[in-house]
Chain A
Amino acid sequence: MLQITNLHANVGDKPILKGLTLSLNAGEIHAIMGPNGAGKSTLGYVLSGRPGYEVTEGSVTFNGQDLLALEPHERAAAGLFLGFQYPVEIPGVSNVQFLREALNAQRKYRGEAPLTGGEFLKVAREQAGALGMDMDMLKRPVNVGFSGGEKKRNEMVQMGIIDPALAILDETDSGLDIDALRVVGDGINRIMRKPDKAVLLITHYQRLLDYVKPDFVHVLDGGRITRTGGAELALELERDGYKELAA
Chain B
Amino acid sequence: MSAPTRHNEAWRYSDIAAVEAAWPLPAPESIIVPAGGTFARTIIQDSGTIHQLDIAIGKGATAAIHVLNIGGDYGRVELNVTLHEGADFKLGAVQIGGGSQTLEVITTVTHAEPGATSSQIVRSVLAGTATGTYLGKVAVARDAQQTDSVQSVKAMLLDRSATANAKPELEIYADDVKCAHGCAIGELDAMGLFYLQARGITPADAKKLMLQAFVAGVFEGAADEEALTEAALAKLGDLV
* A83-126 interface code vs B (CB 8 A; 1 in, 0 out): 01001111111000111011101100100000000000000000
Interface of B, helix, strand, loop or mixed by DSSP: helix
Does A162 sit within 8 A of B, measured CB to CB? yes
Q: How many residues of B contact A (CB 8 A)?
A: 22
A72/B213 contact (C-beta < 8 A), A88-B192, A101-B205 known: no
Select which of B194, B214, B216 is within 8 A of A50 by beta carbon: B194
Q: Are B201 and A88 in contact (CB under 8 A)?
A: no
Residues 48-60 of chain A, each 1 if its beta carbon lies under 8 Å from chain B, else 0: 1111000000000
Total interface residues on A, CB under 8 Å, equals: 33
A76 x B195 contact (CB < 8 A): no
> Which among B196, B210, B216 is the interface contact of A102 at CB below 8 angstroms?
B196
Chain B interface residues toward A at CB < 8 A: 189-192, 194-203, 205-206, 209-210, 212-214, 216
Q: List 13 A-B contacts (CB under 8 A).
A: A51-B194, A71-B203, A73-B202, A84-B198, A90-B195, A90-B209, A97-B209, A98-B199, A98-B201, A102-B199, A105-B205, A106-B200, A162-B200
Chain A residues within 8 Å of B, Cβ to Cβ: 48-51, 71-73, 75-77, 81-82, 84, 87-93, 97-99, 101-103, 105-106, 109, 141-142, 158, 162
With contacts A73-B198, A101-B209 known, what are 20 further pairs, Cβ within 8 A? A49-B198, A50-B194, A51-B194, A72-B197, A73-B199, A75-B198, A84-B195, A88-B189, A90-B195, A90-B209, A90-B213, A92-B216, A97-B209, A98-B196, A98-B199, A99-B199, A101-B205, A102-B200, A102-B201, A103-B200
